[in-house]
Amino acid sequence: MTNAPLRPVALWNPVIRTDTRADGTIYVWQEEPLGDYPVKITDRIDHWAEKTPDRVWMAERDVGEAEWREVTYGELRERVRSIGQSLLDLNLSTERPLVILSGNSIAHALMALGAQYVGVPSAAIAPAYALVSTDFAKLKGVNEQITPGAVFCDHLEPFAPAIEAVFPDLPRLGVDGPGLVKSWADLNTTPVTEAVDTANVAITPDTVAKFLFTSGTTGSPKAVIQTQHMLCANIEMVTDCYAYLRDEPPMVLDWAPWNHVAAGNLMFNIVLYNGGTFHIDSGRPTKDMIHETIRNLREVQANWYFNVPAGFEMILHEMEKDPEFAKFFFSEMKLMYYAGAAMAQHTWDDLKKLATQTTGEEILLATGLGATETAPFALFQTEPQDSPGNIGVPAKGLTLKLVPNQGKLEARVKGVNVTPGYWRNEKLTKEAFDEEGFYKLGDALRFAVEGDASKGFFFDGRVAENFKLQTGTWVSVGAVRAKLTDALGGVARDVVLTGDGEEMLGALLVPFRPEIEKVVPGGKEMADAELFTDPALAQVIAERLGAYNAKATGSSMRVPLAMMLVEPLDLDKGEVTDKGSVNQRAVLRERSDLVRAIYEDDPRVIKAIRP
């Protein structure tokens, strides 16, 4: 842990209570109740439009564009009311919601809030379901589940084939494109009648605000109900935890897709709830798009920053080369938050070190735990840590239940932010909850300090992902994945473990090109297939595997065999989400030939070298 003082920031002071039952089940909660929160999230639109009408709510610009397009809180209220009127005119309702196919944009945000303002749910769908998919199978599943009443895309033309195939009879809304039932200008200026206020007043805590679809790694994605109660309670939980946001409105730059819960609920609503400003980042944490994120970060002085670990690593590399960029990035930063994957120890250490060198202060770097079903986050960490991975303690208003399962503690949660279930699917809803009404997260957790819940917890794998070796020894997949990814020193952004019923573990490695280029001579000029199979890379991996195994304890941790994945992960097949999260089970299913090859002395297999 750094000796530098922690940058002053107002945070919660949780008092944690626990209760351990005779069967070993442990309940964990905060002593203080959650504070008051509004009935509906759109109340904050009216609040900030009245209090700070000229403050910028949201800004965007395209790749390479110089000027930001902005919408103030005053303009936001006027436009969502007009859009709400238009949606009522189209007879949209909970049974006929709005489906949004395009990615993050001001127009997307206005449509979603316009729908919510009049009690109409929306469903933001991963654009890849329409633009990358070849059979539109997941999009068809979405249509069957929620029976939408209208479809929106910023620019209709790229989405036209998907719309024709899946939503041929729905009214089309958008900024531009063929077949619009109403122009974008008219949508934003439709005269508002008393029907808008009547619909707004009729909203209750149980009104469905939106549907969010899980990744759908097996079969069709599930429509998770998000009520107004869930959204408001959850964002009050976050604001209670990161209390500085009440007095210092969040200044956010974020790329993460709104069809996922972390960005679509937490990041989106933390700004609206606290009267902040949301800059839409047109960059991505990829080799080809990170330059745009960095360009934006040179202009937007964020006080809360979220990214996946790979994104932080790319930004870190740029800051190490450019001290002025680092100085600007850290100048107003109060919190750096990562999620979506485990952060490597070297990334954690280097990021904290650079922050301290630049500012003379330690800046909080943290994560948490949640799910689409918890709107999202349920546990938060606010104490400085020596290493990544501590997901913290339960938020106010939530009880964590830890149930002994296969030698681990399976996590379940119950509270004001938990979904009532899956839309029009009583069977799945019933299966998701236990006899006490706790939602089964499917994650295993372990105490950071045995027996002391106040010190937080670490993720201990997905219960359903764990498997047994030939010897009958259980493998904690989540724990091994995190440790092995870290040990590989950045050349793999994630790993998929193999070995169910086998004598030993193996790993399929998901390549991280920026780091691989550093260890392969001439790597920057090579195509992926050549680079990822280069002997120099294989040598580095073999050595790092050996070093990892030398410290591993037992066959359930040692990984003697590995293979680099040359072909990109397939979103259509559920191997990866559009935000880059890797699904262990789907990769094993779709790459079963590679799994077999690992245990058949295939020349592509990399064998650990003993140090």
- What are the sequence ranges of the domains in the chain? 16-37+258-462, 43-55+67-203, 467-607
User: What phi and psi values does residue 398 have, to the nearest 5 degrees?
Assistant: -130, 140
Contact 218, 412 (CB under 8 A): no
Mean pLDDT to the nearest integer, 136-154: 95
Q: Name the pLDDT band for 79 (thresholds 50, 70, 90).
A: very high
Is the pLDDT score of 578 beyond 70?
Answer: no
Q: Give the residue from 94, 40, 42 showing the smallest Cα distance to 205.
A: 40
Q: How far apart are the first and last CA of the chain?
A: 29
Q: What is the mean pLDDT of residues 468-489?
A: 86
Segment 108-134 mean pLDDT = 95
**Out of 146-150, 403-407, 466-470, 526-530, which region has the weakest mean confidence (pLDDT)?**
466-470
Residue with tokens 């870290």: 486
Contact 272, 56 (CB under 8 A): no
**Neighbouring-strand partners of residue 377:** 370
Q: What angle do CA 190, 115, 140 make, to 5 degrees?
A: 120
Q: What is the dihedral of CA 470, 471, 474, 475, to 10 degrees?
A: -60
Residues 6+ apart with CB under 8 A from 147: 95, 96
Residue type, 5: P
CATH topology identical between 16-37+258-462 and 467-607: no
How many whole angstroms separate alpha carbon 131 and alpha carbon 105? 17
CATH architecture of 467-607: 2-Layer Sandwich (3.30)
Element (H or E) spanning 510, and its range? strand 506-511
Least confident interval from 294-308, 392-406, 565-579: 565-579
Strand partners, 19: 27
- pLDDT category at 217 given cuts 50, 70, 90 is very low
Taking a C-beta distance cutoff of 8 angstroms, is the pair 378, 393 a contact? no
Does CATH place domain 16-37+258-462 in 3.40.50.300?
A: no
pLDDT above 90: percentage of residues in the chain:
83
Q: Supply the pLDDT for residue 380.
A: 95
In CATH terms, the fold of domain 43-55+67-203 is Rossmann fold (3.40.50)
Confidence of residue 231 (pLDDT cuts 50, 70, 90): very high
Beta strand spans in 43-121 (E): 56-60, 69-72, 98-100
Predicted pLDDT at 218:
43
> What pTM was estimated for this model as a whole?
0.85
Write the pLDDT tens digit of every residue in 324-351. 999 999 999 999 999 877 888 899 999 9
pLDDT above 60 for 48: yes
Q: Which amino acid is at 310?
A: A
What residue type is 7 in one-letter code? Answer: R
Report the alpha-carbon distance of residue 1 to residue 15 in Å, rounded. 24
- Asked whether the beta carbons of 127 and 566 are under 8 A apart, the reply is no
Q: Residue type for 317, please?
A: H
Cβ atoms within 10 Å, residue 431: 12
Q: pLDDT band at 549, cuts 50/70/90?
A: very high
Instruction: List all residues 6 or more positions away from 457 whose beta carbon is below 8 Å from its beta carbon.
Output: 369, 379, 390, 391, 392, 393, 445, 446, 447, 448
